[in-house]
Amino acid sequence: MPRFGPGVDRGAPRRSEGRCGVKADRLGFAALRVRKGVNGLVALVADALKADPYCGDVFVFRSKRLDRLKILAWDGSGLILATKWLEDGGFTWPEPDAGKVVITPAQMTMLVAGLNWTAVTPKAVKRPTKVS
């Protein structure tokens, strides 16, 4: 699971193997009652998404009207809960049956900004095979 820096072990969660240092975010695709707080979202992550809310991933939930997001993250010393409301329009969101989806940090930035993040597809980068 994600770690907050290479070689850092101050009780911080471990980085996911196979991700080469890229921290990904998870989206929870369930309609959410906007009144849920930290404890309710932690329970939702653990029960519905079958994930560890203290692993360092960022979990994003939406309201039924698609105009509000709740973002839950563990920073190694405590939980962070952030809320974003759009005054006009709605957030781009996959179909509710998608379950959970992993997105890149660039896609996360677009999502929070209220832009269509699904239009951005990360390019596959080949790993170097030798050191010159």
Q: What is the DSSP string of 87-112?
A: SSS------GGG-EEEE-HHHHHHHH
Taking the model in full, what pTM does it have?
A: 0.69
Q: What's the pLDDT score for residue 18?
A: 28
Q: In which band, very low, low, confident or very high, does the pLDDT at 4 lie, cut at 50, 70 and 90? A: very low
Which contacts (CB < 8 Å, 24+ apart) does range 6-15 have? 10/76, 11/76, 12/56, 12/76, 13/52, 13/54, 13/55, 13/56, 13/74, 13/76, 15/56
pLDDT tens digits for range 53-94: 898 888 888 888 889 989 898 999 999 999 999 999 899 887
As a whole number of angstroms, the distance between CA 84 and CA 76 comes to: 23
More confident residue, 81 or 30: 81
- At residue 72, what are phi and psi to the nearest 5 degrees? -120, 130
Q: What's the pLDDT score for residue 51?
A: 85
Using CA atoms of 81, 79, 1, 9 in order, give the dihedral in degrees to the nearest 10.
Answer: 140
| Two structure tokens written together for 18 | 């196979």
Q: In which band, very low, low, confident or very high, does the pLDDT at 48 lie, cut at 50, 70 and 90? A: confident
pLDDT tens digits for range 87-123: 998 998 876 555 667 788 888 889 889 999 888 887 8
As a whole number of angstroms, the distance between CA 76 and CA 13 comes to: 7
Q: In which band, very low, low, confident or very high, does the pLDDT at 30 lie, cut at 50, 70 and 90? A: low
Q: What's the pLDDT score for residue 19?
A: 30
As a whole number of angstroms, the distance between CA 8 and CA 102 comes to: 24
- Closest residue by Cα to residue 1 from 57, 66, 59, 77: 57
Q: What's the pLDDT score for residue 28?
A: 60
